[in-house]
């Protein structure tokens, strides 16, 4: 098992239900991930799940736009 580095990321995002004609709502989340690649962070299902829990919605088809992804630094390594 190779331990992976853990990075702290701060993400500013906008969201709305897919197909809705309303404006996007804004939010921020401060979390950890195992990569520092911004494209992988935007496509990560774990991060998207955390965003859905943060906005307290039950819609599976949420349209999420990432405004800013800030990688603060490495905070350690995983043990798995």
Tens digit of each residue's pLDDT (9 = 90 or more) over 10-49: 999 999 888 787 888 999 999 999 999 999 999 999 999 8
Chain-centroid distance, C-alpha 78: 19
- Residue 60's contacts (CB-CB under 8 Å, 6 or more residues apart) are none
Ordered by where they begin, the domains of the chain are: 5-77 (3.10.20)
The predicted structure's pLDDT at residue 37: 92
């Amino acid at each position: 098992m190779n331990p992976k580095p853990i990075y702290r990321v701060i993400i500013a995002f906008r969201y709305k239900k897919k197909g809705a004609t309303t404006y996007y709502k804004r939010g921020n989340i401060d979390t950890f991930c195992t990569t520092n690649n911004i494209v992988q962070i935007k496509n990560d299902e774990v991060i998207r799940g955390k965003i859905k829990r943060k906005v307290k919605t039950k819609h599976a088809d949420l349209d999420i736009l990432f405004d800013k992804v800030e990688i603060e630094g490495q905070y350690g390594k995983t043990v798995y």
